[in-house]
Structure 1
Amino acid sequence: MAGKNSKKTLQTNLILPMQPHHDEFLETMTKIFKWSQFIGIVGRGSRIWKVWGLLLLLVLLAIEGGAIWKVIKALAGWAVDTTGQRSVTARLAGTMFYSSVVASQILCTRFAWSWGNLSSFWVSVEKTMALNIPPDPKLRKRMLTALGIMALCSIVEHTISVISLVGFDCPPELILRRYTLRSHGFLFLRTEYSVFFAIPLLLISNIATVLWNFQDALVVLICMGLTSRYCRLNQYVAKFCVEENKLAKGNNMKAEAVRLYSWRKIREAYVKQATLVRKVDESIGGIILLTSFGNFYFICLQLFMGITEGLFGTVVIKQVYYFVSLFWIVIRFTWMVLAAAEVHVQSRNALQYIHTCHSRYYNVEIERLQNQLNKDYVVLSGMGFFSIDRNILLKMATAVVTYELVLIQFDNKGGADSAPANGTGQQ
């Protein structure tokens, strides 16, 4: 008798809502957005941070405007020098980098600005599920670990980039001059160098590098939150099916109305979760599109520069930089894609548990849930242009190989000497 009562109590606890008072994911993301104000990503913060974000955006736009003008001059034949760091390839790479950074700041700021409404909707979905789903106690730790790893790898890659540009033979008093001229040679000539211009540019370029890496980290963190919610739902379904099967083996059938109610609440929870994913996709789709295009471009650029110069150069540190930079861009992009694809994988993962449910408990709500999970395509996308699933990695790899073959075939060795470096996979 005691065993039957314990089973009924467990079933009751699974059905009745006992929601946590706080969500660690939302709290962690709110703190991350608070710290991101230092790099110009300002949500509904104070006026001082908004002024800082606007000032940074204007400076980045000024640099981008100068880079575009330099590309136009090079293509039109008006440029004085089109070799080395001032080649067409270098100028175009610098233009692409700063255009990506400007777009990243705008889109990430837009996302941070909408985070208040999005987090409120996130909480409302959690509270209206009417299921006793425990929180993920390790989610915050996983998020901070992922953010720390990405930050560390970015710092290492940027440090190697600086060393490869400056070299080991540079006198200390010339380090700033050499780094500025080699990393931003696409903006000005040697005779135009000024320390009063170099120091602010050094600060802005470092902030730009952080912004360029932050957009991938932001997508990864948001996907971790969505995946965690799906995993919790799937674990709940797995546990519920196990308890259902135990009751069936004991010949202790629950009332049909209670079983229908339980499965209806589970199905509604998946409907609300899918709505949340689509709500997030509307807000973060632009960032996914931007980071996918940017990573694709710089992977192609690094492969091209590595094949034509980096892998066969005489300077060891440059060879190391090309390998490290390319490796990090590929790993970062793959990490982002797999994190986003995991949302789609977990959205269908409950089917394996539903199929184990005893046939005596099969009802119309279970059938509806199966059809819903099979037919409802829940996935993040790049503003609807493409969906992020695991197959996209193969498509991107095929596209990279195709473009590399075209670039190598039409390579003009006199015009592809070098490209700028900002810790971004450019040199």
Structure 2
Amino acid sequence: MLAMFHWARWLGIAGSTSKYYWKLWGMALIFVLTVVEIGAIWKVIKALAGWAASTSGHRSVTARLAGATLYANAVLSIILCWKLSSSWQRIVDFWIILDRAMVTSRIPTDKNLMKKFSGIKKFFIFCGVAEHMMGIISFVGVDCPPSLWLEKYILISHGFLLRPDEYNIWFGISLMILSMVATILWNLQDLLLILITLGLASRYRRLNKYVATVCSQNKKEMDKSNDLDILQMYTWRKIREAYVKQAALVREVNNLVGPLILLSNSCNFYFTCLHLFLGITQGISDTSLEQIYYLLSFTWLCIRTSLVVLSAADVNVCSKDALPYLFEYNTQTYNLEIYRLQYQLRKDFVALSGMGFFFLTKSLLLQMGGAVVTYELVLIQFDSTDYNLTNTTAY
């Protein structure tokens, strides 16, 4: 994670330990993105108030609102990731203390965790670059002259912000860079959440594996003695304290990443609804490049959203995975500490949340799917109603 934050400085995410020039770069990037966001909001206001000269195609209200949402997400993402980077050392210190305590309790390490981290990072980089490059190619087309490539791309992707007569080469280069930064930040915030939740879930799996080992060993020990009772009480007390500290770690991390979870899920939910709405009401373009880009972009968005929710929901699932071992525990060696641990795991609800507005559990993915379908039906109904009223008036 520290290596991730180290490379994220190029995107304006400077932690508290970064040099002053990285912080200046981050503040400059926030300022420029904020200026673009203010311009995008002003374009939305003009379209809604009827002051805009054109509200069709890439200058429609939907396109303007989508552009304003993308750059708003970029500004908030830098601020929240900056806060996460600045406070991460405090989480690291707490994490290390717990890991050392777990080592003394002979809890095994997760040897596959780094491989998972590396695989997910490579997967995000490959899919993110492929989706963005496919978007550029679909906007520009294969028959566009190289001299007009940048102008055509900017006027299509940022038609909500610029008219053709307002374009110049410097605006084009600046918006090209800023759009890439905004897209990378959108992917980065999801990647950070996935990596953090993978680490939390891994620690729970290590605890659960240790509980399973202790339970299987105690099943073989049928002869009881006072010394064995004392040893088992001590062992289970240490296990229960480890689960208490793990729950405290999850809540500490949740206090830090809660705003980022809310931002990530809100942005992903909005663009999922937008993709479906445009695909249903306007249809997919006849050109094969735009069809491929639409399917690729929508698929990648759904995969990212699902990975964020499921990886975070895994923390909630793993927090109760030790209960079956405790329920099947040998009654001859059952003691008070096992009862306390059993009660603690059943009653203590451990899950990451978006600032308390929702909890990331497996049921949330189904709830989001149901909400997307509901919103799509409402939007399509309003869209068809407006279309019928327009036709009736014209007639």
TM-score, with length taken from structure 2: 0.94
**Mapping for residues 95-114 of structure 1, pairs under 5 Å:** 95-114=68-87
**Mapping for residues 256-335 of structure 1, pairs under 5 Å:** 256-311=229-284, 313-335=285-307
Q: Matched residue pairs, number?
A: 385
Superposed displacement of residue 204, structure 1: 1.3
Cα-to-partner distance string for 1:345-368 (whole Å, 9 max, x where unaligned): 000001112223211110000000
SS at match of 2:383: coil
Q: Distance in 2 between matches of 1:46 and 1:222?
A: 25
Cα-to-partner distance string for 1:88-144 (whole Å, 9 max, x where unaligned): 111111001111111111111111110011111111222345411132122111111
The runs of 4+ residues in structure 1 deviating greater than 4 Å are 250-254, 412-415
Q: Tell whether 2:327 aligns with 1:355.
A: yes
Q: Distance in 1 between matches of 2:386 and 2:183?
A: 28
SS at match of 2:221: helix
Q: Distance in 2 between matches of 1:152 and 1:183?
A: 22
Report if the CA contact (8 A) 2:194-2:307 is conserved: yes
Bigger CA drift: 74-83 or 359-368?
74-83
Amino acid at match of 1:365: E
Q: Tell whether 2:109 aligns with 1:135.
A: yes
Determine what percentage of the aligned residue pairs are the same residue.
49
SS at match of 2:134: helix
Amino acid at match of 1:93: A
Q: Distance in 2 between matches of 1:162 and 1:253?
A: 73
Q: Tell whether 2:312 aligns with 1:340.
A: yes
Which of the residues 343, 348, 352 maps onto 1:376? 348
Amino acid at match of 1:32: M
Q: Tell whether 2:35 aligns with 1:39.
A: no
Which of the residues 157, 165, 168 maps onto 2:131? 157
Report if the CA contact (8 A) 1:247-1:253 is conserved: no
Q: Distance in 2 between matches of 1:190 and 1:252?
A: 87
Superposed displacement of residue 390, structure 1: 0.3
Amino acid at match of 2:381: Q
Q: Tell whether 2:44 aligns with 1:71.
A: yes
SS at match of 1:321: helix
State the match for 1:423 in structure 2.
none
Q: Distance in 2 between matches of 1:125 and 1:34?
A: 24
State the match for 2:31 in structure 1.
58
Q: Distance in 2 between matches of 1:259 and 1:316?
A: 67
Q: Distance in 2 between matches of 1:66 and 1:79?
A: 13
TM-score, with length taken from structure 1: 0.88
State the match for 2:390 in structure 1.
none
* 1:60–1:212 Cα change, 3 Å: same
State the match for 1:201 in structure 2.
175
Q: RMSD value over aligned CA atoms?
A: 1.6
State the match for 2:358 in structure 1.
386
SS at match of 1:378: coil
SS at match of 1:302: helix
Q: Which has the higher helix share?
A: 2
Bigger CA drift: 123-132 or 367-376?
123-132
Q: Distance in 1 between matches of 2:112 and 2:363?
A: 29
